[in-house]
Amino acid sequence: MTEFVLFGGKGGVGKTTLAAAAGLVSAREGARTLVVSTDPAHSIGDAYECPVRETPTRVTDEANLFALEIDPRERFQERYGNTFEKLLSDVQSLGVDLSSDDVGAVSEEGLVPGADEVAVLDLFAEYNDHPNWEVVVFDTAPTGHTLRLLQLPDVMNTTLGRVLALRDQFSSVTSTVGSLLGRGDDSPSYGDQADQLEQLTEEVGERLRDDDRTTFRAVTLAERMSLEETDRLLAELESNEIAVDGVLVNKLLQDASEDCPTCWPRYQEQLKLLAEARDRFELPVREVPLVADKQGLDRVEAVTEFVDGA
């Protein structure tokens, strides 16, 4: 059974470093571990100080730890191409009677505009109970992308219902139209791809809601805006029935001196907001110190004692 651990939060809070540290801890505990970056602004390779590709790449010699970075748009293009854009184009060019509301709903709910999220869903499905990995740690994109991803199984089911309805309208058109849908050759039909994606979203939705095998860790800073965004993220995770095992408050100053005119006020503000976080979030809150004097793998190593594995 493969366990999923997702790290998410506002951009710049240090998700990648903490995800990399969790992967290292998990591997050192004996689990075959894969760390996956789904953030378009990849930095897992920087964290481990080694090249990371779109296939699992070993990143340390001492532990069974691998990493990969995906380009969501390229993955979407490879797996699904322009199926849904072409579907809408064909519908309109063949004069099938569709209201503007129908077309707009498909567009707004994100078939092609949601390509990044669809690609990540596809990735989740690929590594769901994968025989090679006991733990998969996901370094997710910033909060907005993550929320769209978590909502996508439900949104996509609604949208896919529209796509399937479009397919049904096509079924009553001539065989010439049928050939345009891929029924006259070996290429998959629109309906086949829609069914495949519908099944994928249902499976991933169930997996993300399985708190025995999936957990989310929210990363934040002791800053007002970051805490507010974390509050919204946690509310959305709860509404989507995604289990969260804690909040990591990252980049905390340690032992600041009153003699430092810039450090001391910031330190005091962090202490106040840290106490507020403990009161606000009904979850364990873990402190992670600022590691300003280290980079790359040294920084990852420095925070491993503050981060759990799977």
Q: For 194-231, how does the pLDDT look when each residue is reduced to its tens digit (9 = 90+)?
A: 667 677 778 888 888 899 999 999 999 999 999 999 99
- The answer to the question of residue 231 being in a domain is yes
Q: What is the CATH number of the domain that holds 219?
A: 3.40.50.300
- The answer to the question of residue 250 being in a domain is yes
Burial zone of 194 (CB within 10 Å; 0-12 exposed, 13-18 middle, 19+ buried): buried
Name residue, tokens 């809408």: 88
Structure tokens at 47: 């964290």
Domain that holds residue 207: 3-77+109-157+197-306
Summarize pLDDT for 86-121 with one digit per residue, the tens.
Answer: 666 665 565 555 555 555 544 444 444 456 667 777
- The answer to the question of residue 103 being in a domain is no
Grouping H, G, I as helix, E, B as strand and the rest as coil, residue 138 is strand
**pTM beyond cutoff 0.75:** yes
DSSP state of 54: S
As for how many domains the chain has, the answer is 1
- The answer to the question of residue 174 being in a domain is no
User: Which of the listed ranges 39-43, 77-81, 90-94, 137-141 does the model predict with the highest average pLDDT?
Assistant: 137-141
- The answer to the question of residue 184 being in a domain is no
Q: Which residue has the higher pLDDT, 168 or 141?
A: 141
CA distances from 174 to 69, 83, 89, 97, 117 (A): 44, 20, 17, 15, 35
Q: How far is CA 212 from its chain centroid?
A: 18
Non-local CB neighbours of 53 within 8 Å, separated by 6+ positions: 68, 69
- The answer to the question of residue 188 being in a domain is no
Summarize pLDDT for 258-305 with one digit per residue, the tens.
Answer: 888 889 999 999 999 999 999 999 899 999 999 988 999 999 999 999
- The answer to the question of residue 71 being in a domain is yes
Tell me if 106 sits within 8 A of 72, measured CB to CB: no
- The answer to the question of residue 178 being in a domain is no
Name residue, tokens 């769209």: 148
- Report which residue type is found at 231: D
Residue 59, pLDDT above cutoff 80: yes
